[in-house]
Structure 1
Amino acid sequence: MNSFIHTSRATRVVFGEGTVTGLRAEVARLGLRRVHLLASRRIDESIIAPLDGVVVARTADLVQHVPIEQVDKGAHRNSSAEVDGYVAIGGGSSIGLAKAFALRLRAPILAVPTTFSGSEMSPIWGITDAGVKTTGRDEAVAPTTVIYDPQLTTGLPSTLAVTSSVNAMAHAVEALYADDGSPIVSLMAEEAIRLLGDALPGLGSDGDVSARSDALQGAWLAGVCLGSVTMALHHKICHTLGGSFGLPHADTHTVMLPYAIGYNAHATPEAQRAICRALRVSNAAHGVQDLVRSCGGPTNLRALGFREEDIDWAVELATQQPYPNPCPITAEGIRALLGAALNDELDRL
């Protein structure tokens, strides 16, 4: 008989085409009057215009992996402008920075994701300082309200739509074998993988709103999984490669996911079966990689700029304070994992 603890988070989710038109109303619902807007210049001004009169600070130059310098600069502005909330419109960089701000000055976050990363549903934050990415969990940084409008994802280039979706899938995959999982998280995780897997082939067309809606729903479920359990080896490796080697966030998740699945295969038979059911494949690791390859996504670290001479330093970082993982995390094992991922050799695991 299973034993588990499951805590539900009270996040308001507004999902559907055209829901972004209610942005000002949702800001008012939270009682916010002096917000810091985090939105790149690529965000259509018609989306932002309804916030006139409540935006007292804006960050438009967003950087992956949330560098500490940007956090420090923004935190000072938040204090001087007497900010009472954050509106983050965009992907993981905007939402991640809002979370980092909320660590310093506690205030509600309203997130409007335009990618499929799923970060908006979790209390997990990450900040990079001197080339090392540190992550943590704090309920105060979990967005209070999330608006999911599939129309906002139609401008996302197909390559980024694919890698962002696999990034979300990674949250669901690791939730299946988390040491603090629960039956409801496992159900959400498998459904997230199914939705994302079915949507991925249709993400190459900007006009396929149906596929993007399914991917966004899958990302929502995957984000709930991310916020409900502890992530494992895959996320530790990706945080290391992104924070210390500057590899692009979603691309790194996309490359590494099949290898992390393969590394843990022998210790996670139930998770492997769930992934196979969701994707209708016979082998979980190869099924994910074949899907990525068929959609034009990256399948090796070399293509992202990682080199053989980087492996030793990456191994040292990845084995420091390892996350809980079904299979033991050893220097030898991580070296083999990175070597295989560098050269697109999944069968080596």
Structure 2
Amino acid sequence: MKFEHTTLGQRVLFGTGEAVASLAAEVERLGARRVMLVGDEAIAAEVAAKIDVAARCTDVAPHVPVANAERARAQAASSNADLLVSVGGGSTTGLAKAVALTTGLPVVAVPTTYAGSEATNVWGLTEAARKTTGSDDRVLPVTVIYDAALTASLPPELAIASGCNALAHCVDSMWAPRADPINQALAAEGIRALNSGLRQITTADGREQTLYGAYLSAVAFASAGSGLHHKICHVLGGAYNLPHAATHTAVLPYVLAFNSPAAPQAAARIADALGAPDLSSLYTDIGASHVLRGVPDAAEAARLILPSVPPSNPRPVTEADLTALLAAAQAGRNPTEWSRA
């Protein structure tokens, strides 16, 4: 056994009903005096009720358009912010990261979905229908405050899609460019937690398990890097402005079916963690959709995606493969039967 693994340094506070108190204590611990609150949800103000806020940025949009990032950076500068506090889903965390990328300001992230961005050093920006991503330790939040109560107001459909997005982080981490035994172990435990939590997502215990699984998935993903699934979804999201979580949910079963024959050990670990050979039973039980919507031309999308495919993917990928995968997802075909052997 030989591998190289990097563990990202981050403080994690996990406790249901503790977000308000935890944030106040963390702001005091960090000695911040000029907090810029990032978040367009009413819940952001509630979570920040016990801290002084110098500026409020509500300019949140999916896939973090460059123009929004520039406005947020200007606001941080004009308010002399010394700490960014993001309260919201992946788009909110992404906007705070975009500010941190150029300013070096620390981020305290309080997620309200299962996106996982808060536990990674990955940033993403979209301009002219193209999404650019990268890794930089400046964007890694110094602290993440997890409170499952903050996810209770998520509509069930959105909660399920967000949880499946976390599941995608786990699956991709099994064969991504920097996959190693440590992030594979984290990913496997994340799958187990998500498999259990998503089935009872309307309960407090289910939300806690799902949030715990989402954190594990993000830590694994931050180490392993973006695999085939995420490269596909990032390109689709940027090119066609698709909803992030729903797109990941739809594409995941098809990528799993495509890669599994070429990565039998990883596929076996995924199946063991799921307690099933594939995602079919989980998707059926929780009502997740594997129908891809919003892509006007599968062949065009395949051409856009192909340059981003990791060379280390366990199975060679052609433009024809990508076209077939996307067409199958558009038609909602059985994910376990579409892939060519």
Q: TM-score range by the shorter chain?
A: over 0.9
Q: Please say if residues 197 and 279 of structure 1, whose CA atoms lie closer than 8 Å, have aligned partners that are also in contact.
A: yes
TM-score (norm 1): 0.93
Q: Which amino acid aligns with 2:50?
A: P
Give the AA of the match of 1:216.
Answer: L
Q: Give the aligned residue type for 1:7.
A: T
Number of the residue aligned with 2:6? 7
Residue of 88, 98, 101 corresponding to 1:100: 98
Distance in 1 (CA, whole Å) between partners of 2:54 and 2:313 is: 43
8 Å Cα contact 1:90/1:115 also seen in 2: yes
CA distance in 1, matches of 2:158, 2:82: 32
Letter in 1 for 2:39: A
In the alignment, is the contact (CA less than 8 A) between 1:127 and 1:133 conserved in 2?
A: yes
In 2, distance between residues paired with 1:75 and 1:334? 37
3-state SS of 2:110 partner? strand
SS at match of 1:135: strand
Following superposition of structure 1 onto structure 2, how do residues 258-273 of structure 1 map, counting pairs within 5 Å?
258-273=253-268
Residue in 2 aligned with 1:242? 237
Partner of 2:272 in structure 1? 277
Alignment of 1:318 onto 2:305: yes
Change (3 A) 1:42 1:306: farther
Matched to 1:218, the amino acid is G
Alignment root-mean-square deviation, CA: 1.3
Written as runs of structure 1 = structure 2, the 5 A alignment for 1:289-328 is 289-301=280-292, 304-307=293-296, 310-323=297-310, 324-328=312-316
Q: Does 1:149 align with 2:147?
A: yes
Task: Give 1:226's aligned residue.
Answer: 221
Question: Structure 1 residues 44 and 230, CA, compared in 2 at 3 Å: closer, same or farther?
Answer: closer
CA separation of 1:13 and 1:344: change in aligned 2, threshold 3 A: same
Structure 2 spans left out of the alignment, 5+ residues: none
- Quote the Cα distance in structure 2 between the aligned partners of 1:254 and 1:42: 27
Match of 2:246 in 1: 251
Task: Single out whichever of 127-136 and 320-329 deviates more from structure 2.
Answer: 320-329
Summarize deviations over 1:190-229 as a string: whole Å, max 9, x none.
00001001111211x2xx1100000000001001011111
Which among 57, 60, 70 is matched to residue 58 of structure 2?
60
Deviation at 1:80, TM superposition (A): 1.7
Distance 2:24 2:16 in 1: 16
Instruction: Report the secondary structure of 1:111's partner residue.
Output: strand
What letter matches 1:12 in structure 2?
A: R
Question: Given the alignment of the two structures, is residue 79 of structure 1 paired with residue 77 of structure 2, yes or no?
Answer: yes
What is the identity percentage for the equivalent residue pairs of Structure 1 and Structure 2? 41
C-alpha deviation, 1:44, in angstroms: 5.7
Cα offset, 1:265, TM superposition: 1.4
Q: Secondary structure at the match of 1:103?
A: helix
User: How far off its partner does 1:321 sit?
Assistant: 3.3
Structure 2 CA distance, aligned partners of 1:289 and 1:75? 43
Q: Secondary structure at the match of 1:50?
A: coil
**SS of alignment partner, residue 172 of structure 2:** helix
Runs of 4+ in 1 over 4 A off after TM superposition: none
TM-score (norm 2): 0.95
Q: How many residues align?
A: 335
Q: CA deviation at 1:305?
A: 2.6
Q: SS state of the match for residue 348, structure 1?
A: coil
How far the C-alpha of 1:109 sits from its partner, in A, is 0.6
Partner of 2:31: 31
Counterparts of 2:281 and 2:61 in 1: how far apart (Å)? 30
Distance across 2 between alignment mates of 1:170 and 1:334: 18
Deviations 1:273-293 (A, max 9, x none): 111111111x22xxx143123
Between 1:174-183 and 1:235-244, the stretch displaced more is 174-183
C-alpha separation in 2, matches of 1:121 and 1:232: 17
Gaps of 5+ in 1: none
